[in-house]
């Protein structure tokens, strides 16, 4: 059902955890399956210096969270804000059709954490 890249990110997820007093934070959930995700951002000089997450969900949700945090780390706020669910799915090498909604939850978390950062820093 899942390819090797998805399974690798599920078994050995990257960037799991929290950031104390984050510059941006979001908590989102998927109404389709009940998965939830918290995303924490640390921003320095307009770039995402660190990103952490906590995801409660299936293999696809955890793998999408892991690879998406790899994708945003080091990017400018605008570059990270441009990441879509299609980018996340492509980076994973694909997901089963019925699991695509998991990557949408992660996309929503990225955008919401960036919106929180912008609101806190008048950006």
Q: Which of 26, 28, 102, 106 is catalytic?
A: 102
* Residue 62 · residue 39 · CB < 8 Å: no
Identify whether the C-beta of residue 121 lies closer than 8 Å to the C-beta of residue 22.
no
Identify the active-site residue in 5, 8, 29, 33: 33
In angstroms, rounded to a whole number, what is the distance separating the alpha carbons of residues 76 and 92? 22
| Residue 64 DSSP SS3 | helix
Respond yes or no: is residue 58 known to be catalytic.
no
For this structure, is 59 an active site residue?
A: no
Active-site residue numbers? 33, 102
């Amino acid at each position: 059902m899942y390819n090797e890249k998805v399974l690798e990110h599920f078994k050995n997820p990257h960037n799991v955890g929290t950031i104390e007093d984050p510059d941006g934070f979001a908590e989102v959930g998927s109404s389709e399956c009940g998965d939830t995700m918290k995303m924490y951002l640390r921003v320095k000089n307009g770039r995402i210096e660190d990103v952490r997450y906590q995801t409660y969900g299936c293999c696809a949700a955890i793998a999408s969270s892991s690879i998406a945090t790899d994708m945003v780390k080091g990017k400018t706020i605008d570059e990270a804000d441009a990441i879509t669910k299609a980018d996340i799915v492509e980076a994973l090498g694909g997901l089963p059709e019925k699991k695509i909604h998991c990557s949408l939850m992660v996309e929503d978390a990225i955008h919401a954490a960036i919106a929180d950062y912008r609101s806190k820093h008048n950006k």
